[in-house]
A and B are shown apart, each in its own frame.
Chain A
Amino acid sequence: MADRFSEDLIALLPRLRRFALSLCRVADLADDLVQLTAERALTARDRFDPTSRLEPWLFRILRNAWLDTARRRRTAGLPVELEDIDKADSHDGVATVEATMMLRSVEEAMDALSDDHRAVLHLVCIEELSYAEAAQVLGIPDGTVMSRLARARLALAGQLGMK
């Protein structure tokens, strides 16, 4: 006997995880963020306006959860999370040379961008949110979304060697 809200929420979990991964780039932390977002969403469901789309509302909760955990990690971090962060740091000489000779992958190019650029690119180009929705998620004016997105697109194009 599942209700509509919960089913919609569960259906959107993979997209939440995709966005979480884009923000934090660590799989375990992305799992935590998704769970935390879903919990907060269920708790705050009375505050969701059913005439609006669920995606931007959830993305906003997720991004706030990310900011909260980032805030907590800034001083010292929860040890459990720090232990989980074992980003590949094993570039040997040959691989590095090969990588620089090839065009960068989009994923690498995204990694090279600032957090702000990556978030706005993800929301608009991958999640296909409108500018207004992205502004709502990020808590910034529509105009700022436009200018930031344009700069992010050009930065990405630069990373990818597109002219």
Chain B
Amino acid sequence: MPEPRHDDETLMAYVDGELPTDEARQVSEALRADPEAAARVALFKATRQRLRESSVADASPVKDEIVQRIRTLSHEQQGRQTTRVIPFRRAAGVWTPAALAASVALIVGASLGYAIGTLPRDVGMMASIVVDEGWRQALDGLPSGESRDLPDGRLTAVASFRDGSGRLCREVEHRPAAQERTIAVLCHGTGEWRLRLRVATGGSDGGDYEAASIHGAVDAFLNATRAGEPLRRDEEAAALKALR
């Protein structure tokens, strides 16, 4: 009785050393009598070989700045048992203390897997965001992906989504000055936009490498608030229209 033909996946697993010993032996024997299968095996071998010899497999050195930063983080982490409280500063009149406490608690929650100690040093030390008429109008109508110049800097809408309570939230980027960048999340409740998160960085000390930390903080916040997927453009337009 002829051996059953081996399928591509089995032949590939044979090449990759992923078959149990007796099955591998079986394939090995079958190959002698099956030139077609042997050609497939050669092809799977060759693809792996070509990849390993290609530039895709070249070493990808990491910039010293990044390595240094990771080292520093690691050392800081070693000497710290409890996470530092996020140095948010309350922007007068923008949110209530209760809301502040709630969002800080969410961010500091240990289950988050994001140590606040790794945030950029400048977090919260920037000029406050004041949701004035210019901001309100931009938040009410500016589609994500577009920017508007306001008296206190350029505002870019990044994305809109709904938080775990169904509130419409907008993630925006604010550039009060060329070297300063703030990512903020504001959610709409009881008729007004309230600041829920603000992560800021100055351009002077960390430069480009703080970007990842900002994203980490925003990601952590989105997870903590059970934020939904970003709304599509049409969904966003409809949600904004419904506010008016």
Interface residues of A (CB under 8 A from B): 1-3, 6, 9-10, 13-18, 21-22, 28, 30-36, 38-40, 42-44, 47, 68-69, 71-72, 74-81, 105-107, 110, 121-122, 124-126, 130-131, 146-147, 149-150, 153-154, 156-157, 160, 162-163
What would be 8 A-B contacts, judged by CB atoms less than 8 Å apart?
A10-B71, A16-B62, A18-B60, A38-B66, A42-B73, A44-B113, A75-B144, A122-B56
- Selected contact of A105 from candidates B48, B55, B63, CB within 8 Å: B55
Docked CA distance A71–B223 (Å):
13
B103 contacts the other chain (Cβ, under 8 Å)?
A: no
Contact with A along B200-241 (1 / 0, CB 8 A): 000000001101110110110000000001111100100000
A125 and B230 contacting across the interface, CB-CB below 8 Å: no
Docked CA distance A123–B219 (Å):
25
A150 and B12 contacting across the interface, CB-CB below 8 Å: yes
B230 and A6 contacting across the interface, CB-CB below 8 Å: no
Closest-by-CB residue of B relative to A131 is: B18
Within the complex, the shortest CB–CB distance from B240 to chain A, in Å, comes to 13
Known: A72-B159, A75-B159, A106-B54. A150 touches B8 (CB 8 A): yes
Interface residues of B (CB under 8 A from A): 8-9, 12-13, 16, 18, 43-44, 46-48, 50-63, 66-67, 69-71, 73-74, 77-78, 113-115, 118, 144-145, 147, 156-160, 171, 173, 181, 183, 208-209, 211-213, 215-216, 218-219, 229-233, 236
B55 and A106 contacting across the interface, CB-CB below 8 Å: yes
B70 and A38 contacting across the interface, CB-CB below 8 Å: yes
- On chain B, the residues within 8 Å of A124 by CB distance are 16, 48
- Selected contact of A79 from candidates B71, B156, B208, B232, CB within 8 Å: B156
Within the complex, the shortest CB–CB distance from A9 to chain B, in Å, comes to 7
B52 and A126 contacting across the interface, CB-CB below 8 Å: yes
Closest-by-CB residue of A relative to B66 is: A35
- On chain A, the residues within 8 Å of B171 by CB distance are 72
B71 and A14 contacting across the interface, CB-CB below 8 Å: no
